[in-house]
Structure 1
């Protein structure tokens, strides 16, 4: 039995190592090729190390075609604001559905979660027409409202499951001490939810940051358009019949920095939150 477990463990480690290697290949490709100039990239091998750094050439190409940092600012606004609002609404809903003993709470949950039943693409036409009618099309407010609405069902699902695992004795003890429902939510449940909230924020921020479909559909001006539609414009432009691939790789690398920063900032909350919930 012991030998079998060791064999299974070695096989699992081998599979995970292979998956990690395959995941790293595109990243290594970007790191090797983004410093190259277009001529060096076309004439050399994909995996050959760069002979020099032609980042200035790539930056000039990017700045001449798109306003990358304006798109990043827009996506940063949408990701942070919409993510925080969606999680706050979902946390309140999950707390009410699990701890306030609302009548028909399960059916209210089904109504909220029904937003994930249909493919997101089905929302494009009705939301687009509604935005044209209400004047929300091509506005930052319209983008934030849409991202909040589309994020609430999944966040509510995750937090509801988490709150259901919290012992009711803690809530009853707090009520005996005179705490209101909101104080219990704010002082007990939110601190205990640090790990799932951090994971949800990272997930929702990444989803909003990497969104292409809705950004293309609901925005058109430079002051509103998110970063991924902006990058799609860059990769679709041509100079002399070809796109500057190193410039596109550099732009993608720059655009990935905020997501990595947020991951490292929230990584500590995962461990602290899980330790708190295990006490």
Structure 2
């Protein structure tokens, strides 16, 4: 009996599960190695952005004759003339139109969604659950089915082709996801904090401003980044609801491609300008974005 129980497979400790090949590889990969690999992958994904920057700073003749990587041996070919020509062509107005559409939309979506999410999470009222189910159901409604009815309505009230019309459309279709995201985050806030504020006599708006909103900054920042990127890069709504005077950068670049086709210097510089603002915004709020994505993963 002692012989049957004493023998064990070599290399295994008593009660320890046997590790596979993948497990042993993971054990040997230290944190430093993983970080180096991730940095290299990040730099690899930034290569197209670097290529776009180089193309936007060279003439069309040079871009047609050489690849962008030759800039490392011929840095004298770089010039800012493309950006000068782009700004002189009226692209500045399209840039400010994009800002005038994106910033108000993002603020409206965050403000309205945060208040609605707080109501759905912590306020008792008749039809609360039904209302939230309606919000969830609106998530699956495609934008395309509303284009013609909303365009007809905008024409009847006189805001078709205007920036407020584009802002209202983006706000309406951004609210369902925003409410759903923030409500699921707000329900994770400890109820004792809200009860303590209510016992101190604080009204609901005071609880929302002083307790819920500060604690919800990670989720709100994540929502702000998502909403900003969606509206900033949108072209479908701009093509339908924005006229020539109020067109954002995406529509302006599309019109340049339609008119000139091979006008690479204008297209590349305009595309890089439209790219750099979202990149700066993402890196500025990266810490809050990561916190918002990890919220709720650990209880």
Q: How far off its partner does 1:21 sit? A: 5.7
Tell me the equivalent position of 2:83. Answer: 59
**Which is further off, 100-109 or 258-267?**
258-267
The change in CA–CA distance for 1:2 and 1:178 in structure 2 (over 3 A counts) is farther
Tell me the equivalent position of 1:219. Answer: 242
Equivalent in 176, 181, 206 of residue 183 of structure 1: 206
When the two structures are aligned, how many residues end up with a matched partner?
Answer: 273
| Structure whose alpha-carbon radius of gyration is higher | 2
Tell me the equivalent position of 1:228. Answer: 250
Please state if 1:208 is matched with 2:231: yes
* Alpha-carbon RMSD: 3.0
- Take 2:85 and 2:91, find their aligned partners in 1: how far apart are those partners? 11
- Take 2:292 and 2:181, find their aligned partners in 1: how far apart are those partners? 15
Q: Secondary structure at the match of 1:27?
A: helix
Tell me the equivalent position of 1:25. Answer: 47
Q: Unmatched 5+ residue regions in structure 2? A: 1-18
- In the TM superposition, 1:107-146 aligns within 5 A as 107-146=130-169
Q: How far off its partner does 1:205 sit? A: 0.6
Tell me the equivalent position of 1:4. Answer: 22
Please state if 1:265 is matched with 2:284: yes
Tell me the equivalent position of 1:170. Answer: 193
Q: Secondary structure at the match of 1:211?
A: coil
- Take 2:248 and 2:290, find their aligned partners in 1: how far apart are those partners? 32
Q: List per-residue Cα deviations over 1:52-97 (Å, max 9, x = no partner).
A: 12331x2354356x52221111111221111111111111111111
Q: Secondary structure at the match of 1:48?
A: helix
Q: Secondary structure at the match of 1:47?
A: helix
Q: Unmatched 5+ residue regions in structure 1? A: none
Instruction: Report the TM-score, using the length of structure 1 for normalisation.
Output: 0.86
Q: Is the CA contact (8 Å cut-off) linking 1:138 and 1:218 kept in structure 2? A: yes
Q: How far off its partner does 1:22 sit? A: 5.5
